Amino acid sequence: MVRKIEHFIDGTRVKGTSGRSLGVTNPATGEVIAQTPLASTKEVRAAISFAAKALPAWSALPPAKRAEIFFNFRDLLKSHQDELAPMLSMEHGKTIPDAHGEIGRGIEVVEFACGIPHLLKGEYSQGVATNVDSYNVRQPVGVCAGITPFNFPAMVPMWMYPVAIACGNTFVLKPSEKNPTVTVRIAELFHEAGLPAGVLNVINGDREAVEVLLDDPDIGAISFVGSTQIGSQIYTKGCASGKRVQALCGAKNHLIVMPDADLDQTVDALIGSGYGSAGERCMAISVVVPVGEKTADALIERLAPRVRDLKIAPYTDPAAEMGPVISAQSLERIKRYIDGGIDAGAELVVDGRNLSLQGYENGHFLGGCLFDRVTPEMDIYKDEIFGPVLSVVRTNDYEDAVRLVNDHEYGNGAAIFTRDGDAARDFTSRVNIGMVGVNVPIPVPVAYHSFGGWKRSLFGDHHLHGMEGVRFFTRLKTMTTRWPSGIRTGAEFHFRRGSDE
């Protein structure tokens, strides 16, 4: 029997009433296992209305009281991980350990939000002028919204709404319609932790729901993670309607391999960062840049057999290292990129296109693919493939490698593997990238730092979570005060400097 997914509005599960729905597929089998309701304009506006109604009381609740609920939420997430991970894997396809890791990174942000009484402390200056003091506070934006992708259905929403809600906002979340079950369940756990009804609402939907969030005047801020094409449109339209918008978008992440790098360590890093989660990560390493022909040859020699030996299986297999991609459409798109790379003259060292698993012939499985001698004008280099395809671009020297990274339109993440501290320091200083790793292949910041790229990987001024998240979901207010002291200064017709008597 096909399961019916529901919305989560005003503290309870709500059946969709629009009459429209979309099938949710198990990527390992190709079987439709659930139906996601696609919300109507009326349903989305109802969720926004409940969030607006809950805002005054929630924003007035002392931050320490909010933190108590977040501590409860953290404990519930930890105790329910064994329930949440298979739920996530069934609809996404990633392995169980990968799902646990995703949930764990989301919990880190909840833990960060538990410190909200400290994070919202303002600044105070006594005596900026005679008998005049000045101080500032950060106050909530209002009703906020999040639009999240399929590749991290638990983690990415938790990079948004915990910080927003801890800051005193209420929230409407529109998760990916491809795998929303775990998102709804986590929202339910938040409510069980003591979150008042209406503070967090999850509305399932498609473009119609997004358009309502962009247009509704009650929405003050929108956070988005997804493709650059969609993100740029959301940023433009959201800003035009007076909203604060952050849109985290596409990526093409490079890993430079210096001649002195530990190649065994480098290959281990590439296997995990290039093929983990079937390459469906915005922080996946998709381009390897060995410096020098000798380095490139040695790297390929070690890397190719590891890619061929990847254990590819459904999430139910405890030995699985990589699962299927999300959909049949994604599988065909990735294969077209591989065909195009061959036609463009790249050397396909490992070809995973003909993988077939007995009993899972209708699943969306693809073996790991490895290209060598890729050049910057090829589509497999320029575009984000979002699949288990790793491209090797050979360079003559370090300067060519840095230039390659800086010339790409995306600036999400990059890494360098080396034993040379001078090279590492120079790279981290000069590279035009938002997140940089030194001997770390996926430099995703911990929760108390912030996540985000540069160039066409980010539209907006603030990154996700950490203090950047607090700044995005709050507005700064500065007060200047003077209390009568019996001293008259007369009328003022000009701005006073702080040192004026």
Query: Alpha-carbon distance 44 to 380, whole Å?
Result: 38
Is 369 noted as a catalytic residue in this protein? no
User: How many Cα neighbours within 13 Å face the side chain of 344?
Assistant: 20
- How far apart CA 485 and CA 500 sit, in angstroms, is 17
Give the separation between CA 163 and CA 501, rounded to whole angstroms.
42
Single-letter residue type at 206 = D
Task: Count CA atoms closer than 13 A to 69's CA, side-chain side.
Answer: 25
Helix (H) or strand (E) holding 207: helix 207-215
Q: Would you say how long the chain is, in residues? A: 501
Spatial CB neighbours of 256, under 8 Å, sequence gap ≥ 6: 289, 290, 291, 398, 401, 402, 405, 414, 415, 416, 417, 418, 427
Q: Which of 114, 144, 282, 369 is catalytic?
A: 282
Judged on CB neighbours under 10 Å (0-12, 13-18, 19+), 309 is: exposed
Q: In sequence order, what are the beta bridge partners of 482?
A: 132
Nearest to 158 by CA among 474, 465, 472: 465
Helix segments in 21-95, DSSP class H: 41-60, 63-79, 81-92
3-class DSSP state for residue 347? Answer: strand
DSSP state of 65: H
Query: At 494, which amino acid appears?
Result: H
Would you please indicate which residues are annotated as catalytic (active-site) residues? 282
